[in-house]
Structures are given as structure tokens and as C-alpha cells.
Structure 1
Amino acid sequence: MAVPTYGDLLRSAVTSAVHLEMRDVYTVDSEQERIAAWRAGHRYDPADRGSWWRPWLDLIAETVARGVDVRRARIVSEPVSEYIRYSHSYAFTNVAAGEGLRWLPRRRASHLVLPGNDFWLVDGQLVLFNHFDGDGRPTGVETTDDAATAKLCASAFDAVWEHGIDHEDYRPA
């Protein structure tokens, strides 16, 4: 199976696109400039949309406008890592684009059955797993439409979502 881009993945969604993130650190090249600015004290002003809107948010907004339920859940260790503090500070942009977002402290996830990797699940059928090295650098993706794997991912996401805290209510510890 050919590996779709994230854009292709979201454009193919008909009913849902859910994303589970379970790492405390992501080292993604495209974020390094924003992280450096955040470390230097820069914070986005929610009222100044032009300063923080980016193409990814256009894709989310377009997907949601088609009636697709786009949600993200993040399992985080507490106290949170610097990366999670940074991520939380700008996550309002994803919510503004129409993405649902919940946070689950890792200590509250011990009873959940989770896959070994972060994933996107589209329409409950196609799973795209994201692979990372120990330092959070992306090492590749893999897709599967195996029904048992999709069912595991759907169940895991639903459980994290059920126990998660809405973005507006979560305060990183």
C-alpha cells in the first residue's frame, strides 16, 4: 500500500480523522524556528489570527468544513516536558481550525490498551502509524487497513478521548 501524505490522508477522510500522540518530545524540523521563538518568550496572540494561521490549519479547516470529525488526543507525562508546554501554548490554533483536542495525563492511562506508536485513523479503517527515534525525530510512517489493527486503534483513541481533559480545561503540570 502506498503511503499517503498527511494532506492526502485528510482529504480522503469522509467521516472521521483521529490522531493519538503519546510522546513527550517531538523533534520535527519544521517546528524548530517556532520552538526557538517560544523559548525566547514569543507567544501567539489568539486575536491576531494572521500571525499564527498556517497551511496545516487550512487543511484542518477544509476537512472539518466537509463534515469530517477531526480530533487529536495527547497522552502526556507530568510534570510535562518543555516540548509539551510549547505545544500546549499554541494548540489553541488547532482548536480554532476546528480540531477537537484533549489531553490525558499518563498516570491516568495505565489501565488503557494502547498501540506502540502514534497514529492517525481515518474513517475507522485506515491507520497511518508515525515512527520516531528515541529523541523524537521522525523515522517514517507505515499504513495498514488491517481490520484488527484499525479496531485496536479506534478503541485506544476512544478510551483516551473518554478519559482526556478538554484543551480549554487542561493546565500542564
Structure 2
Amino acid sequence: MLHLRNDWSVWLDLFHGCQKHAFHLEVRDSYGVPQESERLRRFLAGEPDLIDDYKSSWVTLVQETTARGVEISRVRVVTVPHSGYQRWLLSVTGGNVEAGEDIRYLPRHLAGEVPPDDWWLFDDERVVFNLVDENGSQASAGMAVTTDPRIVEYCRSVKQRLWELATPYAEYVKK
């Protein structure tokens, strides 16, 4: 495995190099992302949301990537009832979906065995693990990248199983 710093330029390179699909598995009920803290605080306090450069950059990347014909999808495995963080994500995910990302939700009690770590699977060839600490904050190691065929195959099988069980965002928020 190759460890890389977790900064925007690395993510840009990964998405610009992606040819077919990028899949993200999220398994935590909350994350400690500094760029999200003010938006989360405002949501929990009942204040109006602010769109910031962090969110705008992601939406732009999704639009550019999907315009090239690359599919971007994710499954969020969530505990029900939802954490404050997951309630906030549900309130802002519509913008990601409108940008072209196919996001699905799967209640943890219906998921069966779930890996303990989040990861991205690019073109069924490369797995990028988001390394976080127990609070969901970025670990000092950043991210780990592998093309090991056994790990890639495992992640591909997890993706397939969870995708079939998960509910599309628009349907999930109606429940």
C-alpha cells in the first residue's frame, strides 16, 4: 500500500484519471471534517445553511467527472435513528445527486457484515482508503492506496452486495 497525503490535489488526480466509475463506501455515523464543522453547527442550531468553497468544489468535480461519462456512486451505511451528522448529510445530499452522483442509503441493521473503513473504488482497479481516527477526523497518514487484486476484488464484492440492498437517496428521504 502506498500512503499519500490527503489533500485536494490528490483527489483531483484520482478523479481526473478515472475512466469508468468511482464508488465510495461510507460506514461511519459521523465525521470530524474541519471544512464541514460550521455548516453542521448551523444545521444543528436550526440556522440556514451556507454553501462554501468546500461543497462547491466537490459539486464542480462531480459535474466535470460525470460529464466525461464517469459514474460516481456511493453507499452510506447508517445507524437508525440517524446521528446529527447523518441528519445534516441527508439535508444537503440533494445537491450532490443533482450534480450527478448516485447516492444510496442502507440502514446498518439491514447491511450484514460491513467493513470498518471507508474507501473509494476507482475503475474496479484501485482502492483508496480514507484513514480516520476514532473521532472520524483525518488521520496523520492521510490515505492509503492499493491495486492489490485481492483487496480490489473484496471491495468490488462488498460494493455489489451493499448496492443491491441500498435505497436511492430520493426514495430514502421520502420514508
Q: Does residue 131 of structure 1 match 2:136?
A: no
Deviation at 1:157, TM superposition (A): 1.1
* Map of 1:152 onto structure 2: 154
TM-score of the two chains, using structure 1 as the length reference: 0.89
Distance 1:122 1:80, change over 3 A: same
Partners of 2:133 and 2:54 lie apart in 1 by 28
2:77·2:107 contact (CA, 8 Å) conserved in 1?
Answer: yes
Counterpart of 2:116, as a letter, is G
Deviation at 1:50, TM superposition (A): 10
* Map of 1:22 onto structure 2: 27
What is the percent sequence identity of the aligned residues?
A: 35
Gaps of 5+ in 2: none
Gaps of 5+ in 1: none
Which one is further off, 19-28 or 133-142? 133-142
Counterpart of 1:148, as a letter, is R
Deviation at 1:135, TM superposition (A): 1.1
Partners of 2:108 and 2:52 lie apart in 1 by 34
Superimposed CA distance per residue, residues 41-99 of structure 1 (whole angstroms, 9 cap, x where no aligned partner): 23559xxx999960111001100000001001100011111100011110001101100
Tell me how many residue pairs correspond in the alignment.
168
Counterpart of 1:128, as a letter, is V
2:3·2:143 contact (CA, 8 Å) conserved in 1?
Answer: no
Partners of 2:52 and 2:80 lie apart in 1 by 32
* Map of 1:119 onto structure 2: 119
2:44·2:84 contact (CA, 8 Å) conserved in 1?
Answer: no
Deviation at 1:24, TM superposition (A): 0.4
Q: CA RMSD in A?
A: 2.4
Counterpart of 1:63, as a letter, is T
Q: Does residue 7 of structure 1 match 2:15?
A: no
* Map of 1:82 onto structure 2: 84
Which of 51, 60, 63 is residue 61 of structure 1 equivalent to? 63
